[in-house]
A and B are shown apart, each in its own frame.
Chain A
Amino acid sequence: MGAIDQNHYDVIVIGGGVTGAGTARDCSVRGLKTLLVERFDFTAGATGRNHGLLHSGARYAVTDQESATECIKENMTLRKIARHCVEETDGLFITLPEDDLAFQDTFVKSCLKAGIRADVIDPAEAIRLEPSVNRSLIGAVRVPDGAVDPFRLTTANAVDAKLHGAEILTYHEVISFIKDGDRVVGVELRNNHGGEIIKKYADIVINAGGIWGHNIAALAGANINMFPAKGALLIFGHRVNNMVINRCRKPADADILVPGDTICLIGTTSSRVPYDEIDHMKVTPEEVDILMREGQKLAPSLADTRILRAYAGVRPLVAADNDPSGRSISRGIVCLDHETRDGIPGFITITGGKLMTYRLMAEWATDLACKKLGRNVKCTTDKVCLPGSEPVKKKSEKPVFGGIGDRAAQGRHGTLSSKIDNSNKCDASLVCECEEVSVGEVNYAIKELDTYNLINLRRRTRVGMGTCQGELCACRAAGLLAKANGCAKKSAEDLASFMNERWKGMYPVAWGETLCEAQFTSWIYEGVCGLDTYSNSAVAI
Chain B
Amino acid sequence: MKFDSIIIGGGLSGLVAGISLQSKGRRTLIVSAGQSALHFFSGSFELYNTDKSYQEALKGLDESHPYSKMGIERVLELASGVPAFFSQAGIKLLGSADCNHFRLTPMGVRKPAWLTLDGYVKIPSDGKFPYKNVTIANLEGFLDFHTEFIAAGLAEQGVNARICSVSLPELDYLRTNPTEMRSTNIARAVKGDVLGALAQKLSAAASGTEAILMPAVLGLESPQAAESLKARCDLPVEFVATLPPSVPGIRTQLMLRSYYQKIGGTYMLGDTVEEGLFEDDILKGIRTVNHADTVFEADSFVLASGSFFSRGVMASQEGVYEPIFGLDVDAPSDRGQWYQEKMFEAQPYMKFGVHTDKDFKVSVSGRTIGNVYAAGSVLSGFNAVKEGCGAGVSILTALDVAEKITR
Give me the interface of A with B, judged by CB distance under 8 Å. Answer: 282, 285, 289, 292, 403, 405, 425-426, 428-431, 433, 438-439, 472, 475-476, 478-479, 482-483, 488-489, 491-492, 496, 499-500, 502-504, 507, 510-512, 515-516, 518-520, 522-524, 526-535, 537
CB distance from A432 to the nearest CB of B (A): 10
Contacts of B141 in A (CB 8 A): 425-426, 429
Contacts of B111 in A (CB 8 A): 530
| B42 CB-CB contact with A under 8 Å | yes
Contact of A527 among B151, B311, B384 (CB under 8 A): B384
A479-B149 contact, Cβ under 8 Å, with A511-B316, A535-B344: yes
Contacts of B384 in A (CB 8 A): 523, 527
| B106 CB-CB contact with A under 8 Å | yes
Is there an interface contact between B146 and A482, defined as CB atoms closer than 8 Å?
yes
Is there an interface contact between A532 and B37, defined as CB atoms closer than 8 Å?
no
Contacts of A502 in B (CB 8 A): 343
Which are the 6 A-B pairs with shortest beta-carbon distances?
A: A530-B109, A479-B146, A488-B152, A503-B343, A426-B141, A488-B148
Encode B27-65 as 1/0 by CB contact (under 8 A) with A.
000000000010011100000000000000000000000
Alpha-carbon distance between A502 and B341 when the two chains are bound, in angstroms: 11
**Count of chain B residues with a beta carbon within 8 Å of a chain A beta carbon:** 54
Q: 6 A–B contact pairs at CB < 8 A?
A: A292-B317, A488-B152, A491-B148, A500-B344, A527-B385, A534-B109
Contact of A482 among B105, B109, B148, B386 (CB under 8 A): B148
| B336 CB-CB contact with A under 8 Å | yes
Is there an interface contact between B175 and A520, defined as CB atoms closer than 8 Å?
no
New A-B contacts (19) at CB < 8 Å, excluding given A492-B108, A504-B343: A425-B175, A431-B143, A439-B143, A475-B106, A479-B146, A479-B148, A488-B108, A488-B148, A492-B107, A500-B344, A512-B317, A518-B347, A519-B350, A523-B40, A524-B243, A529-B105, A530-B107, A530-B110, A531-B344
| B278 CB-CB contact with A under 8 Å | no
Alpha-carbon distance between A516 and B310 when the two chains are bound, in angstroms: 8
Is there an interface contact between B106 and A529, defined as CB atoms closer than 8 Å?
yes
Tell me the residues in window 122-175 of chain B with beta carbons closer than 8 Å to chain A beta carbons.
Answer: 140-141, 143-144, 146, 148-149, 151-152, 172, 175
| B342 CB-CB contact with A under 8 Å | yes
Q: Which of B176-184, B197-205, B360-368 touches A?
A: B176-184
| B116 CB-CB contact with A under 8 Å | no
Contacts of B349 in A (CB 8 A): 510, 515, 519
Alpha-carbon distance between A531 and B243 when the two chains are bound, in angstroms: 12
Alpha-carbon distance between A110 and B316 when the two chains are bound, in angstroms: 43
Contacts of A529 in B (CB 8 A): 105-107, 109, 243
Contacts of A500 in B (CB 8 A): 342-344
| B244 CB-CB contact with A under 8 Å | yes
Smallest Cβ-Cβ distance to A438: which chain B residue: B178
| B307 CB-CB contact with A under 8 Å | yes
Alpha-carbon distance between A310 and B176 when the two chains are bound, in angstroms: 37
Is there an interface contact between B315 and A515, defined as CB atoms closer than 8 Å?
yes
